[in-house]
Amino acid sequence: MGTDSPPDLTVLGGGPAGLATGLYGRRAGLDVRLLEANDEVGGNARTLQLGPFRYDTGAHRFHDKNDEITADVFDLVGDDLRRVDAPSQICWRDRRIDFPLAPFDLLRKLPLSLLARIAREQFAIPRVSDNADHFEEMALDSYGETLANLFLLNYTEKLWGADADTLSPSVAGDRLEGLDLKTFFLEAFGGRTDKARHLDGSFYYPRHGYGQIAEATADALGREHIRTGARITALHHAGDRLTHVTINDDDTVPAQRIVSTLPLTLLIRLLTPAPPEAIQEIARSMRFRHLRLAVLGLDTPRLTPNASLYFPSRDIPFTRLYEPTNRSPDMAPDGQTVVVLELPCHRDEEAWTQSSDAHRASARTLLHDQDLLDADIVAFEENTVPFAYPILEVGAAEKAERLRDYLDRFKNLHLLGRSAHFRYTHVHNLYARAKSLTHRLADTDFPSEQPLVPERDLIS
Ligand SMILES: Cc1cc2nc3c(=O)[nH]c(=O)nc-3n(C[C@H](O)[C@H](O)[C@H](O)COP(=O)(O)OP(=O)(O)OC[C@H]3O[C@@H](n4cnc5c(N)ncnc54)[C@H](O)[C@@H]3O)c2cc1C
């Protein structure tokens, strides 16, 4: 094993969480080394290139919910970070329904008989959603059978690949914040709620794609502190500390403090010696949902006016279409556009294993069926987003808690990141957590053996 003197802080993973930790760590005066398995940084928030087209690893937007972090990101990206106003919609039969749902829009687009049923259910249902045991119960109790079946249960089951009664109510994250009776009435009477604002199509987006935030963060951190192509293959421990990190199975280097942004379950697998069988068993039982992307460059200026188009129908394998040019026109050459279709998969499903040709054909069929495709496809590629969504099954939060309890024994380990915590969170939250964690680590009054427990409460 290597004996070189280790940096103050070794950061595992170069997605938004790792990059922000590296940047704020350096700014706080720490010596940082960041290790990333891929050849590029950015993790699941990267921008990729297909000939003259650019697209992100899934539909991303920057939410300005934390003034300090928004200001920091403006400092990084500069004037290229622009406010975008592009509404999202749900494809329902041959109609496009605004998302978040809006009363006047529903009045215009849903049949009266359906509206009457929805209205009756809205007033009849008991508001017990806070106590629901699973997502299905929460959806039915909160929104009534008709709305839940039309737009929530089918979409949710497709996205997570699990029955709604096995999923935790928290799988909705903040997606449903705009979908409640109070918001309906506020809108109907001319008000607008802050809660729904970020969902209704107003957000920030960098001119050259979402990945520009990660790239600018890496530049500011200093590329010399980042080692790409460095896959962590073992994490050695002795007593109450992690001592060494093995990179690509052959290079073992010492570490002082470690911030891991790797998926929680992977971290458990990498521990050497291995944790007790019961801990390994919990980690094996926790699952992530992956995404397969179909990316089409098209010879037409625009396909939709939307930030995202959602497909709740069970007959359509894809969950969402987004058109990067509606976020920034610089994502495609003049007169052309690019669209990305998201297909959620487990690795043993046909959606994941089907050939590229079959995937392309299914994307094409969807666009035809939705009357979207009347232009030539001038470019196509597919891509994957592994570990896209931690699957929050009923009991998953408790399992994650057990794993974090186990990891608490390592006094120089801190967890930060979406997969690292096995919780939904956003980039602005990750930057805020990284900033507060690194300030505490750089504080000489901060006890060097401070456990990672305090970080838990910080994820929102
Ligand atoms: C489709 C989609 C849309 C989203 N939309 C938004 C949005 O609009 N706004 C928003 O704020 N958030 C959004 N998110 C959520 C979140 O911001 C992203 O998931 C973000 O990428 C999480 O950052 P992270 O650093 O925690 O993890 P990741 O981005 O997953 O980064 C983890 C990094 O660790 C690396 N790694 C893994 N294993 C190893 C190993 N063994 N050794 C070394 N490195 C390793 C990976 O290569 C990766 O670079 C979205 C997520 C998805 C999937």
Residue 251 C-alpha to ligand 1 middle, in angstroms? 25
Query: What does pTM read for this prediction?
Result: 0.92
Segments making up each domain of the chain, as ranges = 9-37+229-286+394-456, 103-191
* Sequence-distant (≥ 6) Cβ neighbours of residue 236 within 8 angstroms: 1, 242, 243, 244, 245, 246, 252, 272
Ligand 1 within 6 A of CB of 417: yes
Any idea of the CA torsion for 429, 431, 432, 437, to the nearest 10 degrees?
Answer: 120
Phi-psi region of 15 (alpha: psi -120 to 50; beta: other; left: phi over 0): beta
CATH class of the domain defined by 9-37+229-286+394-456: alpha beta
* Ligand 1 pocket test target in 56, 250, 261 with most atoms within 8 Å of CB: 261
Which ligand 1 atom is nearest residue 35's CA?
43
pLDDT at residue 451, as a whole number: 46
pLDDT at position 188 over 70: no
Q: Tell which residue, 388, 306, 386, has the closest CA to residue 339.
A: 306
3-state secondary structure of 309: strand
Per-residue pLDDT, averaged over 41-66, amounts to 97
Residue 118 is predicted with a pLDDT of: 85
pLDDT reading at 200 higher than 90: no
Please tell me the residue having the least CA distance from ligand 1 atom 52: 388
Lowest mean pLDDT across 102-106, 136-140, 176-180: 176-180
- The pLDDT tens digits of the residues spanning 250-272 come to 999 999 999 999 999 999 999 99
Segment 362-383 mean pLDDT: 91
